Amino acid sequence: MKTKILAVLLLASLIAFGGGCALLVVGAAAGAGAGGYAYVNGEVKTTESASLDKLWDATLAAMKDLEYPVINQSKDALQAQLTARTSSDKKITINLKKLSPGATELRIRVDTFGDEALSRKILNQIESHL
């Protein structure tokens, strides 16, 4: 019930301020809250029910499965970032951010402007390791 009220209020405020993409944003926000993902401004964003360490391991395993060489990686107790390349030299950037011991934000961007299909493929491969 609260989610519906929040979505309606968000939609109303976006329409009031001339947001031409109001329905896209509300739909994406609702999808992310329902266990899905949001694709906004060229980036996939989702919250996974997994620790940062578990999601990091799943991300590395996914890159190995997809045969995308990791060219840069960094990780600490609160966040992690990985950069990889596809065989066609598309840059993949994956950011993880610890939200709680059992929840981690995951963001995937392909190249500068994004590639939803490839981002979704990467997300699915990561989730297969969770």
Which pLDDT tens digit goes with each residue over 9-58? 555 555 555 544 433 443 443 333 335 889 999 999 999 999 999 999 99
For residue 31, what pLDDT is reported? 38
Percentage of the residues of the chain whose pLDDT score is greater than 90: 72
* Domains observed in the chain: 1-34 (no CATH), 39-127 (3.30.310.80)
**Contact, 116 vs 39, CB < 8 A?**
yes
What is the rounded CA–CA span in Å between residue 13 and residue 19? 8
- Hey, how many other C-beta atoms are within 10 angstroms of the C-beta on 118? 19
